[in-house]
Structure formats: structure tokens, C-alpha cells
Amino acid sequence: MWGFILRRIMYMIPTLFLVSITTFIIIQLPPGDYLDTLAAEMGEAGVEDTGAMEVLREQYGLGQPMHVQYYKWMKAILLHGDFGLSFEKNRPVGDLIWNRLGWTFGISILTLLFIWATALPIGIYSAVRKYSAGDYIATFFGFIGLAIPNFLLALVMMYISFKYFGQSVGGLVSPEYLDAPWTWDKYVDLFKHIWMPIVVVGTSGAAALIRIMRANLLDELYRPYVVTARAKGMSEFQLLLRYPVRVALNPFVSTIGWILPTLVSGEIIVAVVMNLPTTGPLLLRALLVQDMYLAGSLILIVSMLTVLGTLISDLLLAWIDPKDSLPMTAITKNPAIDEDGIATPEILGPWTLIWRKFRRHRLAMFSLWIVGLIYLVAALGEFLTPMDPHDTSVRHTFQPPQSLGLIVHEPDGGWRFQLHASAKKMELNRELRRRTFVDDPDSFVPLGFFVKGHEYKLLGLVSSRTHLFGPTNPRDRAHLLGADRLGRDILSRIIVGTRVSMSIGLVGVAVSLVIGVILGGISGYYGGWADNLIQRLIEFIRSVPTIPLWMGLAAAIPLDWPPLRTYFVVTIIVSMIGWTSLAREVRGKFLSLRSEDFITAARLDGLADREIILKHMVPSFSSHIIASLTLAVPLMILAETSLSFLGIGLQPPQISWGTLLKEAQNVRTIIEAPWLLWSPGVAIVIAVLALNFLGDGLRDAADPNAH
């Protein structure tokens, strides 16, 4: 036991070392350095001073080779606790970050408590009252939490809170309390504000925990030892808590260590939106201006705490006896023989059984249709758009959505059927000193099907001008979901953005699949030093918190790269983290299968390793892997959305749901033009929800032990 602890601590040291090197490299990746940014900004302001630049460069040691800079930095940290100087703010990094770190971790821990307090009871209830109304509601809300990107939820909540409750938005305390001493009133004000970031960051964590708890508990609820407890005369509630819940909780204890960095990571984006005094906004700014030591120190500290968290969770795991899930046994097809002429029911193969189980899960079937529909939209692309997504119009900037109508009234009092969009005209509102749009009852925009519109290439191959739906007169403009700040049609942009967002998910998952299965398989099947090496690699990658890592990598993408190349690099970045969980899962399955009797039998029969893996092991867990992949796609989509929202990764004029949301980045914009937020937001939520339900349904169907 102590030897184990000692060994884990020993492993930590090279990991931390590697983390620090990687952090430093990431910070250095973008071409140029802080002084270049400063020069650019000064140049814009019309100031010129190249001499001072050289002096500064010398002073900060920026001209020296990388390893020298790294060495100086690490030396300062380890020997003096000096994390360097922030170029931009001209203050020691230590001063800037400690206060913010305190808030970050304070909020994260409170969020952790919130998650546990809500998710565990809901998860337990969901499992015990499976398929009841309560279960569906809880699952649904859980999924909503999972599907809505953190920042989107933050924006929505801020909007609601401002519009309907008049609460000041942004920051942790109201403006009047900012510099005031800590009175009781100030605490009350703090609580009024702090619940929002906690709930926002916590919902996705709670959603994941609910699902896991439900699944774990369902695994245990029907086991023999529960029957024994019942046969002893225990009440249902008592035996629930003392036996299956306790067993189902085990895997959780080991995840405590991982949750903390996830919270810190997730909180970063939300903090940017909500203007919280935590590390997030500081890190984003530092990355964008290449304030090297500040960004590096932040990432380093957060990573260190992650590694510590991993250590804690591994130690806790060492206390526990993990339960391996049972592998799937293949049921072979037999012809129905019966001499007495009595028909026997069919014996079905495993995939048939999975499909039948899946079909009964109505929500999952429905989601399958929705996902198919979304991919169809992605494929058909511009055939479905009523307008040209890139076409700007000065007269239509920020136009609100136009409503659809069927009946048109003639001037002489009659009416006829004509699909149309109500027209809006622009007016100058003298009170608000702005342009506003009002309904124009005297005109309308006729719409039709299979109309001629702007030119595009269907599936990238065939040129066409026909669109499924749109204004009958190609010169008309109909904005059914409103227009953005350049007058471009939001509906058309969302449709076109579907392709990019959904395909990043697929491609990312494909990359993760290949890497994850290969590495996980080698690790699990062969064990030994290969396993060790791969596990260390996985641990190292997981130690660096995802958001800062993505931000760092994405910020390194030169802005002048062609969009396609940027797209692929963003995909690779996003899948780089994804493969680690897949690899771990594959490894786990291989490990548990390796000791199964049927594998030993296969080996004794003389099968080669490759045959054993392909013919016997892979079919046993392929259904689980499929389910995992389906669940990974929405995560990739959310990742791309988050990155684009922050302004790194995909850039406008590339259209993706993330870049669309970037337009709705601050609350002021949303209050004036809420459709900028709602439309892409709803699209994302629907897609992610459908994929999640689908994946969940697949996983339930593939599990042979599910009741």
C-alpha cells in the first residue's frame, strides 16, 4: 500500500516536468511574442519606438533560445516561488493570480458539492423508478444540462435574470459592493450572484453524474445479494442504501480527483461570459496577447492541481475493488428442430437482440430519426437555404424574425392562399435614438417551394440554382429567423453551419476511434511495458486541463491559414483529448476479457493473437464502443462550438454554429437581438440532445445485463 503511494508520487514528478515543458511550448507556439503584439498595438495607436523594443526584449530575455528561457523560468519558480512578470500588466504574476485562484477553487468546490447533492438522489431515484415519469423528467433535464454548452446557459441565464428580475449581470457582487468591506449584506449579495455560475458550471457535471449513477445502480439493483437482503426482511429503502447504492458509489469515489480539473476547466469559459474574478478571463487574455509568463503559470498551476487530483483519485481507487462488467456472450443461431412438430421460438443473434431492445426505447428511436434528419440537412446544405448565407444587406441589419403566414388579404376584401413572410420596415425611433423594425401590414414577401435563388454546388458536385424553399422573387429577402449585424440571414447560416459542426464531430470521433482502439488494445492485450508507457502518456495528456490546452493550441493556429486547413487542425485538436477516454475504456475491456475462459480456450485451440482479438474480443465489446462513440460526437461538437465562441479555432467568414454564436457574445447584444442567441443555440441543443439520447439508447440496448 505504501509502496503503491510512493510509486504514484514518484510518477508524478516526471509528469509535472513534462507538463511544464508542454505548457511552455504551447505558450511559445504562436509566431512572435508579446512584444510583437505590443508593437502592433502601439503601431495602431500611431506610436513608434523600435529602440525601446530591443531594450525590453533584452530585459525580458525574449530573444534567447527557448530552452534557456524555460530554464530561467523554472529556476525562478522552484527556487524563489517567482512566477515571472506579466508583460501586459507589468506586475508580478504571483500578485495577479493568487486572488483569482482562490475564487476559482472556491467556486469549483462549491460546484462540486452542488453536483453531488443534486445528482446522487436524482440518479438513485431514476434507477429505482426506471421508466417512470420521474425518471424521464430527470433524464431529460439531465440531458439538457449536458447538451447546452456552459457559456450558452450562462448567457441565457444572464438574459433572463436581467430582463425579468432586474439583477445586475456580470461579476460576483453588485457594482455598489465592489470595494466595500465584507459585511453581512455583501455576503448576501454574493450569494445572490454566485448561485448562477455554480448552477451553470454544475449542470453539465450533474447531468453526467446522474447518468452514470443511474447506469451503475441499474447494474447492481438486480443482483443476487440484493435478493438476499430482501429475503432477510429489510425494507426496500434500507436495503437500497446499504447494498446496491454503496456498491454503485464506488466508481464515483475515484472520480472525485478528476472532477476538480473539469470544473476549473469548464469554469474558464463561463467566467469569460459572466465576467467573474477567476482565472478564466485572465488566461484567455494572456493567451491572446502572448503574455507568456502569466499564461504559462496559470496553466502550470492548474495542471499541477490536476495531477494532484489524479493522485488522490488513484489512492482512493486503491481502496476499492472495482467491478468489471460482464462480457457479452454470443448466442448462436440454431435452426428450430422439433420432432414432435411443436414450433420453438427463434433463437436470435446478438445484433438482432440489440436492435429489438433499441427499438423499444422510444426516445432513442425518435432521436435516431432526428440525427438522420440533421445529417441530411448537413449533406443537402444550400439546397435547403432560403437565402444566400454570405449575402449582406445594410438595410436589414439586426432585423427581427419575420413570421410565416398562409393567407393573404386582398385589397378588395377577399383572401387567397399564398405562403408568405410578413414584411418589416425600418423606422427611426426618436426616443431610443435607434433604428427599429416594425411590421409592415401593407406588403408581404411571397414564398414558394423549389424556387430559384443564388447559385451553389449540391454536394460539392452539381451546380444548381434551385432551392427547396425561399422567396419566389430571388431579389426579395425573407428572414424567418432574423438577420445578424451584417444583414445576413440567420436561418440560412444555421443550415450551412450544420455541415461544419456535425462533420467535425464525426471526423474527430473517427480519429479518436482509430487512435484509441489501437493504443487501448495494445495496452490491454499485451500489458507489460507497452501498457505502462501508454498509460503514462494518457495520464500526462489528461493532466493538462482541456480548455487551456485547446485554447493554447488553437491560439497557435496562424490566422492566415486557408479555412479548410484550419478546420482540420481544429478537428485534430478536439480529438486529441477524446481518444484518451476511449483508449482507457478499450483497455479496460481487453483486460477483463483477457482472463475469460473462452479466450483461454481460443488460445489453446491455437488461434493467433490477431485472430483472437478480431474474432472473439472485439465482437464482445464493439457494441459498447459504438455507444461510446455516439456519445463522444456531441462532446466534439460542443468543443468546437466553445472554441469558436471564444474566437479561436474556426474564424469567420467560416460558418459553423460556434462562429454564429460568437456574434452573440455579450449580454448587451443579446438583449437587443435575442434571435442571434436563440436560433443557433436551439440548433446546438437539439443536435447534442438527439445524439446523447441515441447513444444512451444504444448503450442500454447493447448491455446484456440490463433489465
Partner 1 sequence: MPQTPMHTDTSPLLEIRNLQTHFFTHDGLVKAVDGVDLTIQPDRTLCVLGESGCGKSITARSVLRIVDQPGRIVGGEIIYRAADGRTVDLAAERPGSRRMREVRGKDIAMIFQEPMSSLGPITRIGQQISETILLHRKVTKAEAREIAIEMLDKVGIPDPTGRYMAYPFELSGGMRQRAMIAMALSCQPRLLIADEPTTALDVTTQAQILDLIAELKEELNMAVMLITHDLGVVAEVAEDVAVMYMGKVVEYGDVHDIFANPQHPYTRALMASIPRIGAERRDRLPAIRGMVPHPLSRPSGCSFRTRCDHAIPGVCDQSEPKLQPAAPPNQPVSCMIKR
Site for partner 1 in 309-328 (CB under 8 A): 321, 323
Q: Is 242 in the site for partner 1 (CB under 8 A)?
A: yes
Give yes or no for a cis peptide into 548 (omega within 30° of 0).
Answer: no
Cell digits of residue 443:
406588403
- Among the listed ranges 225-233, 400-408, 457-465, 466-474, the one in contact with partner 1 (CB under 8 A) is 225-233
Selected from 71, 131, 222, 449, the binder of partner 1 by CB under 8 A is 222
Q: Closest approach of Cβ 330 to partner 1, in Å?
A: 20
Is the separation of the CB atoms in 654 and 674 below 8 Å? no
Q: Is 243 in the site for partner 1 (CB under 8 A)?
A: yes
Q: Is 507 in the site for partner 1 (CB under 8 A)?
A: no
Is the separation of the CB atoms in 695 and 630 below 8 Å? yes
Q: Is 223 in the site for partner 1 (CB under 8 A)?
A: yes
Distance of CA 61 to the CA centre of its chain: 38
User: Which among 544, 562, 421, 523 has a CA at the least distance from the CA of 479?
Assistant: 421
Selected from 340, 431, 560, 605, the binder of partner 1 by CB under 8 A is 340
Length of the chain in terms of residues written: 707
C-alpha span between 651 and 125 (Å, rounded): 44
- Segments in 129-183 forming alpha helices (H): 133-147, 150-165
Q: Is 597 in the site for partner 1 (CB under 8 A)?
A: no
Q: Is 231 in the site for partner 1 (CB under 8 A)?
A: yes
595 in helix, strand or coil? coil
Number of other CB atoms surrounding residue 166 within 10 Å? 7
Q: Is 236 in the site for partner 1 (CB under 8 A)?
A: yes
Is the separation of the CB atoms in 423 and 402 below 8 Å? yes
Q: Is 235 in the site for partner 1 (CB under 8 A)?
A: yes
Is the separation of the CB atoms in 679 and 171 below 8 Å? no
Selected from 247, 445, 582, 698, the binder of partner 1 by CB under 8 A is 247
Is the separation of the CB atoms in 252 and 320 below 8 Å? no
C-alpha span between 153 and 285 (Å, rounded): 22
C-alpha span between 27 and 37 (Å, rounded): 14
Q: Closest approach of Cβ 224 to partner 1, in Å?
A: 4
C-alpha span between 194 and 205 (Å, rounded): 17
Q: Is 707 in the site for partner 1 (CB under 8 A)?
A: yes
Q: Is 433 in the site for partner 1 (CB under 8 A)?
A: no
Question: Of 8 and 323, which CB lies nearer to partner 1 in the complex structure?
Answer: 323
C-alpha span between 276 and 269 (Å, rounded): 10
Provide the phi-psi class of 402: left if phi over 0, else alpha when psi is between -120 and 50, else beta.
beta
Show the binding pattern over residues 166-205: x = contacts partner 1 (CB under 8 A), - = does not: ----------------------------------------
Selected from 133, 342, 432, 461, the binder of partner 1 by CB under 8 A is 342
Q: Closest approach of Cβ 109 to partner 1, in Å?
A: 27
Q: Closest approach of Cβ 246 to partner 1, in Å?
A: 6
C-alpha span between 567 and 523 (Å, rounded): 31
- Among the listed ranges 233-241, 261-269, 452-460, 685-693, the one in contact with partner 1 (CB under 8 A) is 233-241
Q: Closest approach of Cβ 323 to partner 1, in Å?
A: 8
- Among the listed ranges 223-231, 371-379, 528-536, 580-588, the one in contact with partner 1 (CB under 8 A) is 223-231
Q: Closest approach of Cβ 244 to partner 1, in Å?
A: 9
Q: Closest approach of Cβ 348 to partner 1, in Å?
A: 10
Q: Is 129 in the site for partner 1 (CB under 8 A)?
A: no
Task: Please give the residue ranges that form the binding site for partner 1 (CB under 8 A).
Answer: 222-225, 227-236, 242-243, 246-247, 250, 321, 323, 339-340, 342-345, 360, 707
